[in-house]
Amino acid sequence: MASEKLNQWLEKYWQGELSHVEEMQFRSELKINRESLSGELQSLAEWFEATESVKHELSLEDDFDAEVLQKIRSTKSGENKWSWWKIAASVLVVITLAYMGWLLPQSKLSDTNQLVEMENTQENPEKAFEETKATLQLMANMMNSGKDHLNSLQLFQVAQDKIQTSFKQEKKKKEDTQKNI
Amino acid sequence: MSEEIYFKTTFLSKKNKLYRFAYFFLKQEDEAKDATQETLIKIWDKRAEWDKVENPDAWSMQIIKNNCLDRLRKSKTAQKHQESFQVVHSTDQNPGTISLWQDQWNVLQQVMDRLSEKQKTVFILREIEGNSYQEIAETLEISEAQVKSDLFRSRKFLKETMLKINNHGIRKTQSMA
């Protein structure tokens, strides 16, 4: 390419007036004619060469991807655990509401004598204490039942992890076998 | 497509571009690597917003730019800011190439030191990454005219630095000859 054209492009380059396509052409021409250039054009050709090299020299190592993926996967499993807790908590709320709204009134209706005694608990502190104790015992049983649900969920999580691990090992074995072949 | 596959193809595949960008702001390789990792994890955490993002490339550049600026603010407050670039050595073993690399590295450092943060961003995206004016404008949320104006200014510094180095015989290639 004529040096006149290169000099025109050089001037436009300094002014920031080259279009994207023109600039790509300019870079390419300077690269091709690098040995025959002098002065500013030579300096710029070297500059372009260096900016291209920066892309290769400044790059991350191969294990970077694995590090990031490991981190985001641990975030994901953390979120799963949290969602199991949310389910467990919801189950507990439903059980408590069912007890309060349905079981408790039923038990009151089934024993009218007890109901009469209940109305006068202020005059009979021992009875009140017994009633409170029985109610708290029932609540404790309900809480334990909720906890059992959580245990079964944890068992499910452990089983899931084991399956994933064995699947990964199987996959790795297959890959090793393929590499050996 | 699963979220993880989309993340790998759209964002993780651009890790080196993000890393270089962070390097020119933070001037240290380790710090730039940390910023890149943090940015990618932040992008993952914002996955609920992915479908609203029109230009994922520009979006991820904005996130790393903010991350770098936050880090700079903190390091300046703690007075731990690196004043000059940690020199990246060429992997090429040819003495001529190494020398040329050192000369140009010197030019790059001198130009970067004279630019404002916005001008530096424009300069990196255009000179190193080869982005178009439109792409730069979208990334920085400025007009193309503003991009051209910043680029003109940074190229003026580039020209001056090159002339200074050539006229004063600082070039190592010449001194070695």
The per-residue pLDDT for range A75-84, each reduced to its tens digit, is 766 555 566 6
Per-residue pLDDT, B82: 60
pLDDT surpasses 50 at B162: yes
pLDDT surpasses 50 at B177: no
Provide mean pLDDT across the span B20-37. 92
Q: Within an 8 Å CB–CB cutoff, is residue A181 touching chain B?
A: no
| Residue B80 structure tokens | 């731990």
| Residue A8 structure tokens | 């025109």
User: With contact defined as beta carbons under 8 Å apart, do A73 and A81 qualify?
Assistant: no
* B15 contact partners, CB below 8 Å, separation of at least 6: A60, A64, A65, A68, B36, B40
Q: Within an 8 Å CB–CB cutoff, is residue B143 touching chain A?
A: no
pLDDT surpasses 60 at B176: no
Give the H/E segment covering residue A28.
Answer: helix A20-32
- For B151, nearest residue in chain A (alpha carbons): A16
The number of residues in chain B equals 177
- For B91, nearest residue in chain A (alpha carbons): A57
pLDDT surpasses 80 at B14: yes
Give the H/E segment covering residue B12.
Answer: none
List CB contacts (< 8 A) between B89 and chain A. Answer: 57
Report, as ranges of residue numbers, the positions in chain A whose pLDDT lies below 70. Answer: 1, 76-84, 107-123
Stated pTM of the model = 0.64
pLDDT surpasses 80 at B96: no
User: With contact defined as beta carbons under 8 Å apart, do B126 and B136 qualify?
Assistant: yes
Per-residue pLDDT, A12: 93
How confident is residue B9, by pLDDT bands cut at 50, 70 and 90? Answer: very high
List CB contacts (< 8 A) between A75 and chain B. Answer: 41, 44-45
Q: Is the dihedral of CA A158, A161, A163, A169 positive or negative?
A: negative
Q: Does the structural domain B92-177 have CATH classification 1.10.10.10?
A: yes
List CB contacts (< 8 A) between A49 and chain B. Answer: 100, 104
ipTM (interface pTM) = 0.79
Nearest residue, CB atoms, B104 vs list A46, A64, A71: A46
List CB contacts (< 8 A) between B132 and chain A. Answer: 20
pLDDT surpasses 80 at B172: no
Domain boundaries, chain B: 1-86, 92-177
Cβ separation A75–B104 shorter than 8 A: no
Domain boundaries, chain A: 3-57, 77-180
Instruction: List the end-to-end C-alpha distance of chain A, in Å, as a whole number.
Output: 53
Identify the CA nearest to A55 among candidates B118, B31, B23. Answer: B23
Proportion of chain B above pLDDT 90, given as a percent: 55
